[in-house]
A and B are shown apart, each in its own frame.
Chain A
Amino acid sequence: MEYDVVIGLEVHAQLLTRTKIFCACSTNFGDAPNTNTCPVCMGMPGVLPVLNGKVVDFGIKLGLAIHANIAPRNVFARKNYFYPDLPKGYQITQYEYPLCTKGYLDIDLKGETKRIGITRIHMEEDAGKLIHDDCGPNSYVDYNRAGVPLLEIVSEPHIAGTYEAVAYLKALRQLLVYLEICDGNMEMGSFRCDTNVSLKPKGSTAFGIRTEIKNLNSFRNVQKALDHEIARHRQILETGGEVVQETRLWDAVQGVTQSMRSKEESHDYRYFPEPDLIPLDIGTAWTETMRRTLPELPFEKRARFMHQYDLIFYDADVLTQTRALADYFERCVQLLPAPKDICNWIMTEVLRILKEGDIADLKVTPEMLIRLIKRINDGTISGRIAKEVFDAMADTGTAPEEIIQARGLVQISDETHLREVARSVIAANPKEVESYRKGKTGLLAFFVGQVMKATKGQANPTLTNAVVKELLES
């Protein structure tokens, strides 16, 4: 039987606020255990939470960016369960009245746009971290993360496959990073993803039984886990079995999902309104203030790049992957209005050097890149030599002119000199000359190549072509 895959995603995005959601402790990652703690985030007796307004700011920004309704009245709730990393025995979150509802994100699927609904976004606090002793029976708790603000972003079950799921997550992460509210680092846990997946007979309107997979800390793992889980569901259904509704854990080492807890074992969280926090009213003034701080969003920037710089979708999409790269491109264009040349340089050389790295670490500034391109345009160096110069610039951070000078890479455009070299090349290859003159004109490239070799690549290619051709045909 043919099946439709139905996926819904829950993302927890750790926010880039300086302090925690309900106290003044630092959110800094990687500090010594339990140094960023205070009586409030340790859940000591008698202390009370005070909401960090920045968390609301960030939530509103994301809500506006995904065209969601911003709730005028927000109520925090307690989610009650026992675990050592949860200091108060409950998590302060939102339940019946979340910050944002009914938004969407348009994702690009190999040129086609698909709209993925976002059910809700709510604010909540993160828990601490358990650290298990490698050699002993003890476990320890680090509460530095307890109280770090999170936005939970819940999608509609609109995602029809693994590829779409990853595309949605990438688009969402890009948006969060653009808004500068989350660093999007999956390995460090600042962008975490739980997935809900089910299969139903193709075209059927009734949903199948779903499973939830937790512990997915990279796009690769999301993809592998979903592929595995979809295959598992399909196999169960095809052999007449029934999927068990449960939460499963992705085991990246073995490449399988494993049952964590069944529906019957699931927690009863006993949600109720948090009496220590008063309802939070968000007026239009607050929302409008946040709207004014919104940067140009990825899809807006991409559209503008296509229009303003006459770029194709793919190029504009790559250039707008991050704000920093887009800014790099635009700074270059400001210095030299040749967007297509610059785009080519970035798409090939800049991204080749950069790989996964940060453009801020690139030693070739826009100013340097433009000077390099200008040296090609004014005939000082050839395009081929320019690539060598670019590598040297990226390596050392030295100006292009300096590298060209120091390495003697200036193009030879002296016709007399080139003619001399060409003559000796022709004299040294009588057989090839004969073949050429008999009609194998393709050998022109061979002669030009020999001239290039003799001049260590510095010969002006256009001039060399003309000179060689003239000598051969004279």
Chain B
Amino acid sequence: MLETARRYRSDGISPVRVVQDLIAKIKTEPYNAYISYDEEGALRTAREAEKALEQNGEELLIGLPIAVKDNICTKGIPTTCASHILANFVPRYNAHVVERLRALGAVIIGKTNLDEFAMGSTTISSFKGPTKNPWDMTKTPGGSSGGSAAAVAAGLCAGALGSDTGGSVRMPASFCGITGLKPTYGSVSRFGLVAFASSLDQIGPMARTAHDAAILYDAIKGHDPKDSTSVARGYRHTPLDGIDLKGVRIGVPQVFFGAGLAHDVERAVRYGQKVFEELGARIVAVDLPHIPYGVAVYYIICTAEASSNLARYDGVRYGMRASGAKDLLDLYLETRAAGFNTEVKRRIMLGTYVLSAGYYDQYYRKASQVRTLIVKDFARVFEDCDIILGPTTPCTAFGLTDMIDDPLSIYLLDIYTIPANLAGIPALSIPCGFGDTGLPIGMQLMAPAFRDDLLLSAGIAFQDVTNFHRVKP
């Protein structure tokens, strides 16, 4: 992003040309990173950007082509959530984040692929077919924001927006060797983000570098009265020159390095830890006792909320409607049977179950209580450290068909990313090495709520002395 912005200003390159080139590439891209692109709109805004640049417009985002995950509403442009049920849905409103990007002069280049309704970790369940990892076309890019991650890694956009409910920004960022932030819950408006699990969902930036991610985050963060969970105060601007890490306490919980962690991933993350030490950070051992319950808690809460959030897709007002339904019940059954894929149906079923009379206390209420314990774990640990460090994922990218029939193993891939969503705290994934087969590895940093700035500036400092983020597929 920074690079493109410089070229616009010093080399006289026109955003129109950059956008034209990109659209041409997107039309033939082999990764299936995009669900749709908006050639006309992108070129129109690129021409506006050209004018703004001629008038010495200072906003860094002017003319930068940004890709947006296809569960984020774009006015007049289809927003499908990679689902048959919304295949024909064109919103008449922009998501708050899209409004912000547009106001700052960015070009929305297209809509990226995802797991249907952002439910998944592989970007395989999309109605448009799987996205392929630019590092190895036989591998998954991770998910659910796999399209955005692949687009950034393959240079098919300057930066992208993803959404993260249990790791959906960080995990594909890790698998594709890019930087991705899951911001503090409430710091980025969810207005226009098609809800999966409302208490966990957060839109986050995905980019080549922490610096670019910081620019995107600073553009989209902030209070939005249209989202009641949006927070009004407490934002800090990110120091884009990085920070001096001397004396910064980095907590390393043992629980993130237990069984199930691939040895190449552990090696790379430990290397990352050493880089921070060399930058002056102090490593402290910390304990997060309730983390082992994270996955169970997450799959109760997120499915419960999803079962309710997805009830509106009933074929009555918009989206797909099954033809030939005999009566109302039939209309519901046929529409939803045909409109949703297996994983979405599985989660709706699970969520409906955990909220049912007689099971609510056992599941949903209990999960909410354990969630509170996890929140408290983090609060206590952040008295002893400023940042928590660990792996983003237990392994590197795997084959596109490897775990297709094993949802439980896929759920376990989110084991390190889920806690930040449950606690509402920010978490950043940055590249920290390559695995045995040459695939990228991500390291996760977490900080207290509203210290996204600390994560991003620590990431910038890290990337100042490392080159993993510069390696291209």
Interface residues, chain A, with chain B CB atoms under 8 Å away: 39, 42-51, 78, 80, 82, 84, 87-90, 141, 268, 270-272, 275-278
Contact = CB atoms under 8 A, between A and B. Distances in A.
Given A270-B356, A277-B228, A46 B91 contact: yes
Interface stretch (B10-18, B48-56, B288-296, B304-312): B304-312
Contacts of B360: 270-272
A45 B118 CA distance: 14
B235 interface: no
A302 to B, nearest CB: 42
Interface string B226-246: 111100000000000000000
B332 A82 contact: yes
Interface string B300-319: 00001101101110101110
B198 A87 contact: no
B195 interface: yes
B235 to A, nearest CB: 18
Given A84-B328, A141-B316, A275-B199, 15 more contacts: A45-B81, A46-B91, A46-B194, A50-B227, A82-B311, A89-B308, A89-B310, A89-B311, A90-B311, A141-B317, A268-B357, A272-B304, A272-B355, A277-B228, A278-B228
A275 B198 contact: yes
A89 B355 CA distance: 15
Contacts of B86: 45
16 contacts: A43-B317, A46-B71, A46-B72, A46-B190, A46-B192, A46-B193, A47-B192, A50-B228, A80-B308, A80-B311, A82-B311, A88-B311, A90-B311, A270-B356, A275-B197, A276-B195
B407 interface: no
A contacts with B: majority SS: loop
Contacts of A90: 308, 311
A47 B191 contact: yes
B217 interface: no
8 closest Cβ contacts across the A-B interface? A89-B311, A270-B355, A275-B199, A275-B198, A45-B194, A46-B194, A46-B192, A43-B312
Interface string B352-365: 10011100100010
Interface in B37-74: 71-73
A276 B228 contact: yes
B352 A46 contact: no
Contact of A272 (B95, B316, B364): B364
B30 interface: no
B227 A48 contact: yes
Given A42-B317, A45-B73, A45-B86, A80 B355 contact: yes
B179 to A, nearest CB: 26
B91 A268 contact: no
A56 B73 CA distance: 31
Contacts, number: 100
The SS class assigned to the B binding surface is loop
A69 to B, nearest CB: 24
A123 B307 CA distance: 23
B434 to A, nearest CB: 37
B247 interface: no
Given A84-B328, A87-B317, A270-B352, A48 B191 contact: yes
A278 B198 CA distance: 11
A272 B307 CA distance: 11
Contacts of A43: 312, 317
Nearest to A273: B368
Given A45-B73, A45-B86, A90-B308, A276 B229 contact: yes
A44 B311 CA distance: 11
B79 interface: yes
B398 interface: no
B89 interface: yes
Contacts of B71: 46
B160 to A, nearest CB: 18
B314 A89 contact: yes
A248 to B, nearest CB: 22
A84 B316 contact: yes
A87 B314 CA distance: 9
A87 B312 contact: yes
B271 interface: no
A78 B308 contact: yes
A275 B307 CA distance: 13
Contacts of A271: 355, 360
B314 A82 contact: yes
Interface string B193-237: 111011100000000000000000000000001111100000000
A274 to B, nearest CB: 8
Nearest to B117: A45
Nearest to A276: B198
Nearest to B230: A48
B312 A268 contact: no
Contacts of A88: 311-312
Contacts of A275: 197-199, 229, 305
Contact of B225 (A47, A50, A272, A277): A50
B229 A272 contact: no
Contacts of B311: 80, 82, 88-90
B228 A44 contact: no
B351 to A, nearest CB: 9
Contacts of A48: 190-191, 226-229
Q: Most B CB atoms within 10 A — which of A46, A80, A272?
A: A46
B173 to A, nearest CB: 23
